[in-house]
Amino acid sequence: MGYVAAKGGFDAIRAAEDLVANTRLEGKSSWLDLDQIIDRLGYAVDRVMGEGGLWDETTAARAFRQAEGDVIESAHLVRAHRSTLPRFGTTDAVDVDEIDVMRRIVPAFREPPGPQLLGRTLDYTGRLLDTPDEDDARRSALEAAAARAEQPAVDVTEATSDVRVPGRLLDVLRQMDLAVDRRSNDDPEPADIARVPARPGAPRSAVLSTMARAESGALVALWYRNILGPDRNLHEVTLGEVRHGRLPVRVQHPLIDEQVEIGNVRVTEVEAIEDLDGPDEDRTKFDVGYGLTFGHNERKAIAMANLDIALTRADAGSFLEQSILMTTDGLDSSGFLEHLKLPHYVTFRSMVERKTVERKTDERPSTEAVAS
Amino acid sequence: MTVLDVLPDAATAAVLDESSKREVRRAILTAIAIPGYQVPFGSREMPVARGWGSGGLQLTLAIVGQSDIVKVYDQGEDGGVNAANLRRLIRQSEGVNTTTDPREATVIQTRHRVPEDTLQSGQTLVLQVPVPEPLRGVERDMHELRRMHAEGDYSKMWVSLYEDLVRNGVITKTTGYPCLVGGRYVVATTPIPRWDVPPLHQAEFLSLFGAGREKRIYAIPPHTDVEPLTFDDVPFQVEEVSTPCRCGLVVPDGDRQSYQVELPQQDGSSIWACSDTDWCSRQRVGAGLLDPATLTETEVEL
């Protein structure tokens, strides 16, 4: 054992942990249950699942509660949890056309094949702050739940068979010969960005995976930078598909060697149609970008689909690919930003030393001496 | 019953699962085989944030076994908050013993310092790296950076050093000084001070550099040349450390001093302290300036 002049670090950490625990575990209000978080704070739970790269509402809710509502911190907890889990295998690829939609809008056509299904959305809710009497609100919520429980269940099986699994607009564009065909077989197995770092030159599947678990705000900011900022990789995008629905999850059964469905995940899926206007592009056609992320997060999926098509169109030498791959991960950017709070005594001393030495060297004819 | 129930305990107990550790070890072997080359690896998310030693932590977790003795220190201090936190995590996760004495450690994880003691054969220094790319200051495009390293084209770096010298009279690069390793690859020497660069040259020990956020591992194997980039007529300069340490320790002229940090005082003056706290304490005990009994009570927790 060596000698230690100060154990202040350890004591300080423990004191900080106590302060955290005081609020997190005790607090002044009643205990916050996981089902409440999943039920009432769904957008936050969905963001955590998307940015955490793990589908599990309970785990996400647990992380969100532990992180006291900090979404990036929650995503970190989920991803660090993932790192401890061994991998058993991968799911079989699923055809996204199997999506069972709860919401689907097609901004490009008034009456597209399949439904315009508004579904559950905040889009048209008045942005006015509700200020009900808390007791009244709680009572009417209970009454509404009780009333719903007494009603017979609505039979939705008939509607589910066709309307809930619509065709996709890209197929319509292809039939109209309006879409550039970029289908290829050069990226057959999706890249696993948890195992192979996605760097410029990475296949499209790696770029899409990176965006699917990117920080939502980072994608929105990068998108907006292309609209108003110095990056100009977007021209005029119209959305073809905005969907929120369920996709089945299937695996090969390890014993009977057959495909079995083990559940489903909710996703938001977006197709962004770009009006091609580049000098080398086919002006008679459109091209389409794709976005998909866990849970209900339309902002993120729309930004992702836009950036996907922007990247396809970006000039050689553009920094867009590097920006998407290297700067949109919430854990990376936040972690590095926050690391500035760590001690930098050693490095800062080295900087001060160079300034001192530089001044000594500066004792040569200066501009001041020349002026006088 | 879930799948986790049928797995052996070892598969779920640690911070990093066993297959991920093996993947890190493979990257380490590649890094040792090609000194200075930045090996990409599938950096996992750790219980500490990226930028807070997640790369060094993955290296340490991947290489330690039950018989290892680990030292973790940060800015030269064993008692610093981040060092204490990482040490606790490594000990809890891997069940290894820890120490503050670099002479008895088999693995030393460090942020931004190399111990003042001369490390020996068989010891491994794990350096936490925030920015693994030495050329980022002169080139941002990662395609171009890959080409420059592949072709050993470091001309932009040389021009930048020359311009620095012409503009400022000295080379003003501070920490993370660019060095040519094994005559082939230029590396960023993390942000260790220039003071710590000479011990890396033809060292007896293995240095492993882990950048978790940027997903890179590189290595300087024992007995490898580490040459700071500079010009024939402009000698490489380490930081000046002329003022005696507040600890009262006087190192004889000609002997290597220790790297010092400045402690500015209210009245505008400064006093100086050894950056390496364990080294400083041992020297003072040796010189009869410090009673060891006042120090040992903290060992259990650290």
Closest chain B residue to A353, measured at CA: B239
Positive or negative torsion for Cα A114, A120, A123, A126: positive
Q: Domain check: are B49 and B198 in the same one?
A: yes
Provide the β-strand partners of residue B107.
B70, B124
Sequence-ordered list of residues with C-beta below 8 angstroms from that of B232, at least 6 positions apart, any chain: none
What is the C-alpha separation between A66 and A310, in angstroms, rounded?
Answer: 37
Summarised one tens digit per residue, pLDDT across range B99-144 is 999 999 999 999 999 999 999 999 999 999 999 999 999 999 999 9
Residue where a domain stops, chosen among B203, B228, B253:
B228
Q: Domain check: are B33 and B82 in the same one?
A: yes
pTM across the whole model: 0.91
Residue B272 belongs to what domain range?
Answer: 240-302
Residue A5 at interface with chain B, using a CB cutoff of 8 Å = yes
Residue B233 within any structural domain of the chain: no
Q: Order of strands, edge to edge, in the sheet holding A100-105? A: A100-105, A237-252, A259-275, A286-294
**Residue B36 annotated as catalytic:** yes
The count of residues in chain A is: 372
Q: Domain check: are B143 and B67 in the same one?
A: yes
Q: Answer yes or no: is the ipTM higher than 0.85.
A: yes
Of A79, A200, A335, the CB nearest to B51: A335
Indicate yes or no: CB of A197 within 8 angstroms of CB of B260: no
Q: What confidence score (pLDDT) does residue A1 get?
A: 40
Of B85, B101, B170, the CB nearest to A13: B85
Residue where a domain stops, chosen among B194, B228, B262:
B228
Residue B302 at interface with chain A, using a CB cutoff of 8 Å = yes
Indicate yes or no: CB of B81 within 8 angstroms of CB of A12: yes
Q: Domain check: are B211 and B264 in the same one?
A: no
Indicate yes or no: CB of B275 within 8 angstroms of CB of A7: no
Q: Which residue out of B36, B56, B76, B176 is catalytically annotated?
A: B36
Summarised one tens digit per residue, pLDDT across range B48-58 is 999 999 999 99
Q: Which residue out of B53, B55, B176, B245 is catalytically annotated?
A: B245
Closest chain A residue to B262, measured at CA: A349
Q: Which residue out of B53, B56, B176, B280 is catalytically annotated?
A: B280
**Residue B179 annotated as catalytic:** no
Q: Higher model confidence: residue B84 or residue B31? A: B31
Residue A263 at interface with chain B, using a CB cutoff of 8 Å = no
- Cβ atoms of B90 and B72 within 8 Å: the answer is yes
Q: B12 pLDDT exceeds 60?
A: no
Q: Domain check: are B209 and B299 in the same one?
A: no
* Mean pLDDT score, B214-229: 98
Q: What confidence score (pLDDT) does residue A158 get?
A: 53
The CATH number of the domain holding residue B51 is 3.40.50.11310
Residue A299 at interface with chain B, using a CB cutoff of 8 Å = no
> Which of A192, A325, A350 is most worth mutating to test chain B (most B CB atoms within 10 A of its CB)?
A350
Chain A residues whose beta carbon lies within 8 Å of the beta carbon of residue B27: none
Residues 101-160 of B with CB under 8 A from A: 101-102, 104, 111-113, 130, 140-143
Residues of chain A with pLDDT > 90: what percent? Answer: 71
Element of type H or E holding B149: helix B142-150
Residue B234 within any structural domain of the chain: no
Give A157's Cβ-side CA count (13 Å radius): 2
Beta-strand (E) ranges in chain B?
39-40, 69-74, 97-98, 107-111, 124-128, 178-181, 185-188, 206-211, 216-220, 226-228, 260-264, 270-274
Q: What confidence score (pLDDT) does residue B8 get?
A: 52
What is the C-alpha separation between B114 and B182, in angstroms, rounded?
Answer: 19
Please tell me the total count of domains within chain B: 2
Give the residue among A356, A44, A30 at the shortest CA–CA distance from A216: A44
Number of other CB atoms surrounding residue B288 within 10 Å: 7
Q: Which residue out of B53, B56, B176, B247 is catalytically annotated?
A: B247
Q: Domain check: are B198 and B108 in the same one?
A: yes
Give the residue among A272, A270, A333 at the shortest CA–CA distance from A296: A270
Residue ranges of chain A whose pLDDT lies below 50: 1-6, 161, 365-372
Give how far B252 is from chain A: nearest CA, Å: 23
Summarised one tens digit per residue, pLDDT across range B241-297 is 866 778 777 777 777 788 999 889 999 988 888 999 999 888 888 888 888 877 654
Q: Domain check: are B14 and B142 in the same one?
A: yes
Quote the tokens at residue A171: 């197929």
Residue B5 at interface with chain A, using a CB cutoff of 8 Å = no
Summarised one tens digit per residue, pLDDT across range A164-212 is 788 889 999 999 999 999 898 988 888 999 889 999 999 999 999 999 9
What is the C-alpha separation between B75 and B52, in angstroms, rounded?
Answer: 13
Quote the tokens at residue B299: 């060992």
What is the C-alpha separation between A236 and A183, in angstroms, rounded?
Answer: 22
Q: Domain check: are B59 and B186 in the same one?
A: yes
Give how far A269 is from chain B: nearest CA, Å: 26
What is the C-alpha separation between A283 and A277, in angstroms, rounded?
Answer: 6
Chain B residues whose beta carbon lies within 8 Å of the beta carbon of residue A89: none
Q: Domain check: are B192 and B278 in the same one?
A: no
Q: Domain check: are B112 and B260 in the same one?
A: no
Q: Domain check: are B214 and B287 in the same one?
A: no
Q: How confident is the model at residue B302 (pLDDT cuts 50, 70, 90)?
A: very low
Chain A residues whose beta carbon lies within 8 Å of the beta carbon of residue B50: 331-332, 335-336, 339
Give the residue among B129, B109, B127, B112 at the shortest CA–CA distance from B214: B129
Q: What confidence score (pLDDT) does residue A154 get?
A: 64
Indicate yes or no: CB of A4 within 8 angstroms of CB of B142: no
Q: Domain check: are B174 and B150 in the same one?
A: yes
Of B42, B50, B84, the CB nearest to A10: B84
Give Cα A169 to chain centroid, integer Å.
Answer: 23
Residue B235 within any structural domain of the chain: no
Residue A17 at interface with chain B, using a CB cutoff of 8 Å = no
> Which of B5, B12, B21, B45 is most worth mutating to test chain A (most A CB atoms within 10 A of its CB)?
B45
